[in-house]
Structure 1
Amino acid sequence: MQLRRLCIRHFRNFEHLVIDPFPTPAVIVGENGVGKSNLLHALRLVLDPDLPDRRRYLQPEDIHDRSPSLAEGAEVTVEVELADFEDDPDARSELDGAIISLSPLVARLTYLFRPKQSPARLLGEEPAEPLTPNDYEWTVYGAIDPSNTMLAAKRYAAMSVLPALRDAEHDLARPDRSPLTSLLRERPPAQANIDKTLKTMRTAREDLGRDANVQHIADLIRSRVATMAGPRMNLDPSLAFAGRDEDLLRSIRLFIDASATRGIDRTSTGTANVLYLALLLERLRLRRSATDGEDTLLVVEEPEAHLHPTLQRHLFAHLLGQPNRLVLTTHSPHIAAVTPLPSMVLLLDTTTGTQARVMAPGLLEQHERADLERYLNVNRAEILFAQGVVLVEGVAETYLLPALARSAGFDLDAHGIVVASIDGTDFAPYAKLLGPSGFNRPFSILTDGDATDTEETEIYRREPGLRRALDVLKILADDSVAEPFRDALNALRQQDLPTAGGPRDGRHNLVVTAAGFGIFVGPDTLETDLAPLLTAEMTAAFNDLATGARRRQNFAQALEQVAASPSTEDQRAGVISRIERDPVSKGRFAQRLADHVEQLNLPDRIRQLLGYPSDRPVASSDLLALPGCGPVLALLDDLRRRYEHLPLAPTPMQLGARTPPAQVPANEPG
């Protein structure tokens, strides 16, 4: 049996939340306060047989803020749809009254909390006074009829919750709470061995009770009691070593070594949690395989507690690769990194309450999914938790974009914006993953234009940066945008690059169109694109790393030629070749350059390039039109406008009139 769909209305964070399809297994991620624990509690209202009925009566704080309040007649529903039980006759029998579809076979159970349905209220004859919790009732019903009560169904289609920071050591020491006891009851020792052991234990207890010292203590107790109470009290104490036969299985203890000398108390909290989870999973497996077994959904809150990152990755890569009914909530990028993409449930805080995103079936080709799952290693899985993502080609951008933002007084980290290198140029799969049909996260792309022509370059290979933009536009925009862009790009490719340098005629129009969808395409490559903006800083960074006056002088001269736009392909190649030569390298150069960049005043530098006074506003179009560095600056301007409601180079008046940052929409073109 599988949980196929979940719908929550008017409960806590959720005005109207739908997760369809609900993946199995499922990993629920999201920032603090977005409602991960509330989602689990909503599931418990329907499916948890261990949740006391008194906790199914909601309180005023359980009602969503924009819903009618409890005093006004609130109504809360939690619908779960269950599937994949065609071959389970017990499940079909238990859920018979909840069936809503025969092909495929689907059952629906709904928790309903609403005002009591008295005849007077139904007729509108009760006075319109504020309602109290005592005026409400709850039920769990099957299919679509609230009168079709199915309270017992949760004992078959059940869920079990392991809360965060569980004291596994304490639970394992208590037979009534230890999954080890339950596991032994599922697979008990042979009855003949139990009988033999019990007989031996009874004999041993009797022999021990006849020990002379034990009998002496019994005599002392009898004497003391007789002296204290006198002969009228009919009391004749004795001693014996007691033990009930049914306590045999309850007395077993788990040790962490083969010689059974080191108990659970001798290991770490994380190890105890792993043992506890292993026992529980094995017990659930045995219950599901039993002829009368229930099909329990196991929910684990924040399982990363007390676990080393490497163990998190190994343990949950194994568990999430198994066909089990497992739901995890987590903040851990290490667990997210090993989660299969179809298992990911991303909770987002929006203006209409918390919403959930899952990856649409068939969104990615198999090879795309495999590549993305490899990409989401521990360093890159944070893009799933970020408030905004900037996808870039390589490591240089990851150093320089945050540094440029800080030099303008705009801290990307403070706003949860992650600059993530994809180590390549194929942005389309990432756009699918983060776009409207994927996890719907706000993202931008910065890519090199690589607008170079050689004798070997065929026409259809020209302007590869704009081709990447077209591939992403096909995902983010409709045909009315993508097709004219494609036609204009094909026409643009017919032109040779001007021999004196500079772009092809009409290229800027395509750059502007792409930027409108958050895709920023530079002219050539990052280092040469930044030359007009950062000539002094790039010279200083190179001098920090390179030795020899001649080498430094040659680099400075090459950089000045590129900074004096337009530049030719050979001139740009002269800068890049010197950066790539040992001991500099592009990555090391970007690291050093970032340190120099953070020392400058970027708004003043921008105004110098534009020739604008301090009181003249700088528009996004002004930045995008700057030679070389325009797309990089336009990207940062776009981010700052969205997250701080300020341009990248604000005037004093704009700084004084700024409004507090508002929530950024889940996905809005740049």
Structure 2
Amino acid sequence: MTNVAVELDDLTVLVGANNAGKTSFLEAIYAAVGAGRRSLGQDDIHVGPGEAVVPQDRVATIDVCVRPFDADGKQIDAFPAGSYWTSLWGTGISQDNNFHDFMAFRTTLAWNPAKGDYVLDRRFLTEWKTPADWLTGKISTEGLGSEQLEHVALHYIDAKRDLEDDLRRQGSFWRRLTDNLGLTDADILAFEKTLSELNEGMVTKSPVLQHLRTNLSDMSSVVSADSAAVDITPVARRLRDLSKGVDVTFATTGAQAFPLSKHGMGTRSLASLLVFRAFMSWRYTLAEQQGDQTHSLLALEEPESHLHPQAQRALFAQIKSIPGQRIVSTHSPYFAGQAKLGELRLFTKHAGVTQAKRLPMQALTSDDVRKLERSVIASRGDLLFARAVVLFEGETEEQAFPLWAQAYWGASAHELGLSFVGVGGTDYFPFIWLAQNFGIPWYVFSDGEDKPVAKLKADAKRAGIDDIAAHDNIVVIPNKLDLEAHLMNEDYLDAFEVAIANYVGPTALDEYIANLNGKEGKTIDGATQIRDYSGAEGRKRAAHDMVSGKKTRYATPLATAVLTLADPERRVPKLVAKLLDVIGKRFDLKKLDSTKFGLH
């Protein structure tokens, strides 16, 4: 990816479709300030469209800026005089045009002909430029050593984490935490003496172990002329070796405890994260005791992997409790739905170019933020990962449109990457604002009655759209009708009758007419209307009233009935097709031949 700028918060949640650049961003940050060793080379250099290989003179560049904050998370003007950070970075700390302190550095990965390999170089920056001209920032001649980044180093935990592997792998967080158990020398001697006695007792009493030791003693006659001894230690004699053979068991209430190796990947992945939390909190404690300071950075890829939805929601609080800054990439709407709006960064890719967007929170009122977080993110977080979002007033269209879209294009909404969302009444603004500011293409199919149209116009105006009629991504049902009335007006009585017959029974409409014809109906402008279900037009009114009285129940049966009509040209209503054509043109979706419209 190229020219991507991301401002990081205490918690930053990266969302977006697969292959949008989230993992590449985490790897770039790790290359700049990562803890531990990682081999970097040609595969880490951007390959442009049409390029088969990376040009050898291309340089990967990553700039990082660090600014001081107080204990309450508020940015301050300067690093405290005489603090750990000023002594650590010294002249590497610069000031911007407002005389605010910052420490910035540039990491480059470039081909070195003399070494025949790619070489990593870090140098302080004396300027921090805007994203538009960031590469022009002045570079100091002073290099930046790894010891100067040790206490702000980033730990990258990818989606393949597994505590079962961590228990055995040298350098894992488990091994680094348990290599020194924090015991006194006296305690270590006492415990190791007990371990030796335990080993000796087991070998002495075990005929199997004695038999093994006797046979293994014959090695001395083969490999050495000197006398030699063979000993067997069922249990490690040294405390520092215990962590190499340790096991962790886990049991739910009322169940037998099993080693983690026997549990699923979800439990083992979660355990690996909790070990990292223990590692970082212990590191913070030691730094405080020793008068040092540390600021941990965690890059975490897909923490929701292998966890069920409720566990994904609960996981959010566990990650929030990890000390330091956390950068989390996720494909889970359940996890992303727990984040605050300002913590989200949406990654998108168009024509091979990655963009990362942050919401302009200053444009929102506190009530807007509440609606967005509760009504949109928490309940419909899936739209953050959508290719496009289609908005409706209520549940009828939300249920029916996916069926019509699948018939029209021959692929489900999930395959197409489209999110069909009922806005729960007429509050379009939170959805439109979020989609518009995140660059997610959005569409509206609205009832034509006065109230929903007035609200749609007001919400669109707040989003910067003065005339909804001038925008083909917004379709309003004409003649002040809702969807059911519009379909009846377009002579879909036959579909209504099929839907009613399939859902309630073949005589249900006739019984409805017989029971309610001539009875009191709705009250309009203070006047009670008398139902007139006589004749052909009366039958239409009856079918419409019967379905409209239970819209959400009839939404799917009605859409299904339309799709099974004999005339293929009627299977997707023309007004619905109008909006689908606009969406199809935007994403190059090929409409099926109308004779193939139907249930898939």
TM-score when normalising by structure 1: 0.70
Shift of 1:133: 9.1
Report the Cα offset of residue 360 of structure 1.
2.0
The answer to whether residue 445 in structure 2 is matched with residue 446 in structure 1 is: yes
Q: 1:544 aligns with which of 492, 495, 502?
A: 502
Tell me if 1:578 matches 2:546: yes
> In the alignment, which residue of structure 1 is the partner of 2:583?
639
How far off its partner does 1:353 sit?
0.7
Distance change >3 Å, CA 650–CA 512, structure 1 → 2: farther
Q: Does the Cα contact within 8 Å between 1:17 and 1:356 map onto a contact in 2?
A: yes
Counterpart-to-counterpart distance in 1, 2:47 and 2:107: 14
**Paired amino acid for 1:537:** A
> Is structure 2 residue 556 aligned with structure 1 residue 591?
yes
The answer to whether the 8 Å contact 2:497/2:509 transfers is no
SS at match of 2:554: helix
Cα gap change, 1:466/1:140 in structure 2, threshold over 3 Å: closer, same or farther?
A: same
Residue 304 of structure 1: how far off its partner (Å): 2.2
* Correspondence for 1:568: none
Code of the aligned partner of 1:31: A
| C-alpha displacement of 1:207 | 6.2
Q: Determine the C-alpha separation between the residues in 2 that align with 1:644 and 1:218.
A: 72
Structure 2 equivalent of residue 196 of structure 1: 190
Q: Which residue of 2 aligns with 1:76?
A: 60
> Once the 2 structures are TM-superposed, how far is the Cα of residue 288 of structure 1 from its aligned partner?
2.8
Taking the TM superposition and a 5 Å limit, the aligned residue runs for 1:455-474 are 463-474=451-462
C-alpha separation in 2, matches of 1:405 and 1:223: 77
- 2:259 alignment partner in structure 1: 263
Provide the rounded CA distance (Å) in 2 between the counterparts of 1:224 and 1:411.
71
Kept after mapping to 2: 8 A contact 1:46/1:154: no
Partner of 1:235: 227
Q: CA deviation at 1:277?
A: 0.9
Instruction: Assess, with a 3 A threshold, how the Cα gap between structure 1 residues 577 and 84 changes in structure 2: closer, same or farther.
Output: farther
Alignment of 1:554-565 (within 5 A): 561=537
Q: Distance in 2 between matches of 1:386 and 1:97?
A: 46
Letter of the aligned partner of 2:282 in structure 1? L
Contact 2:473 2:582 in 1 (8 A): no
Change over 3 Å in CA distance of 1:64–1:563 after alignment to 2: farther
8 Å Cα contact 1:209/1:239 also seen in 2: no
Q: Which runs of 5 or more residues in structure 1 are unaligned?
A: 1-13, 117-130, 452-462, 486-510, 565-570, 608-628, 652-670
Letter in 1 for 2:18: N
Paired residue for 1:26? 12
Q: Which amino acid aligns with 2:563?
A: E
3-state SS, counterpart of residue 300 of structure 1: strand
Matched residue, 1:498: none
Q: Which amino acid aligns with 2:88?
A: E
Deviation at 1:640, TM superposition (A): 2.6
Distance (Å, rounded) in 2 between the aligned partners of 1:219 and 1:112:
57
Question: Counterparts in 2 of 1:160-171, with a 5 A limit?
Answer: 160-171=155-166
Match of 1:286 in 2: 282
* Matched residue, 1:141: 123
Amino-acid identity (%): 22
Residue correspondence of structure 1 range 293-308 to structure 2 within 5 A = 294-308=294-308
User: What's the offset of the Cα at 1:563?
Assistant: 12
SS of residue in 2 equivalent to 1:641: helix
Q: Is the 8 A contact 1:345 1:357 kept in 2?
A: yes
Partner of 1:655: none
Considering only aligned residues, what root-mean-square deviation do their CA atoms show, in Å? Answer: 4.2
After superposition, the Cα gap between the structure-2 partners of 1:147 and 1:56, relative to the gap in structure 1 and judged at 3 Å, is farther
1:593 Cα shift? Answer: 0.5
Aligned counterpart, 2:527? none
- Aligned residue for 2:35? 49
- Structure 2 match to 1:112: 108
Task: Report what 2:74 is aligned to.
Answer: none
Distance in 1, matches of 2:149 and 2:538, equals 71
TM-score (norm 2): 0.77
Q: Is the 8 A contact 1:637 1:648 kept in 2?
A: no
Partner letter of residue 277 of structure 2? Answer: L
Q: Deviations over 1:21-71 (max 9, x none)?
A: 22331222222222222222111110113133xx23335864333799743
Cα deviation for residue 519 of structure 1 reads 5.7
Q: How many angstroms does 1:146 deviate by?
A: 5.7
Matched, 1:311 2:311: yes
Return the alpha-carbon distance in structure 2 between the equivalents of residues 548 and 337 of structure 1: 43
**Kept after mapping to 2: 8 A contact 1:168/1:269:** no
Alpha-carbon distance between aligned partners in 2 of 1:163 and 1:140, rounded to the nearest angstrom: 24
Question: Does the 8 Å contact 2:500/2:509 carry over to 1?
Answer: no
Contact 1:45 1:51 in 2 (8 A): no
Name the SS of the counterpart of 2:269 in structure 1: helix
Counterpart for residue 76 of structure 2: none
C-alpha distance in 1 between matches for 2:566 and 2:509:
30
| Structure 2: gaps (5+ residues) | 70-78, 126-137, 518-530, 596-600
Taking structure 1 as reference, are residues 194 and 635 closer, same or farther at Cα in structure 2, changes over 3 Å only? same
Q: 1:561 to 1:29 in 2, by over 3 A?
A: same
- Distance (Å, rounded) in 2 between the aligned partners of 1:66 and 1:265: 46
For residues 335-391 of structure 1, the C-alpha deviation after alignment (integer angstroms, 9 at most, x for no partner) is 223333222222111126111122223243333333333334787222111111111
| CA distance in 1 between partners of 2:378 and 2:459 (Å) | 27
Whole-angstrom CA distance in 1 between matches of 2:90 and 2:50 = 36
Q: Determine the structure 2 residue equivalent to 1:415.
A: 416
Equivalent positions of 1:331-480 (< 5 A) are 331-351=331-351, 353-376=353-376, 380-409=380-409, 411=411, 413=413, 414-435=415-436, 438-451=437-450, 463-477=451-465
Per-residue deviation, residues 499-548 of structure 1 (Å, max 9, x unmatched): xxxxxxxxxxxx623x3463646523221122223332123323434515
Q: How many residues align?
A: 541
For 2:133, the equivalent position in structure 1 comes to: none
Structure 1 residue 329: deviation in Å?
Answer: 2.0
Q: Secondary structure at the match of 1:107?
A: strand
The answer to whether the Cα contact below 8 Å between 2:533 and 2:539 also exists between their aligned partners in 1 is: no
Flag the 1:559–1:402 CA change in 2: closer, same or farther, 3 A.
farther
Partner Cα distance (1:60, 1:72) in 2: 12
d(CA) in 1 for partners of 2:168 and 2:509?
A: 71
2:49 and 2:220 mapped to 1: Cα distance? Answer: 71
Change (3 A) 1:331 1:601: farther
Instruction: Spell out the pairing of 1:608-627 with structure 2 (5 A cutoff).
Output: none
Shift of 1:474: 2.8
Per the alignment, do residues 280 and 224 of structure 1 end up closer, same or farther by CA in structure 2, a change over 3 Å counting? closer
Structure 1 residues 52-67: aligned runs within 5 Å:
52=38, 55-59=39-43, 62-65=46-49
Deviations for 1:177-230, whole angstroms, at most 9, x for unmatched residues?
45344334677245554343234334555666777979976995699578779x
Separation (CA, whole Å) in 2 of partners of 1:559 and 1:82: 77
Cα distance in structure 1, aligned partners of 2:153 and 2:172: 19
Q: CA deviation at 1:96?
A: 3.6
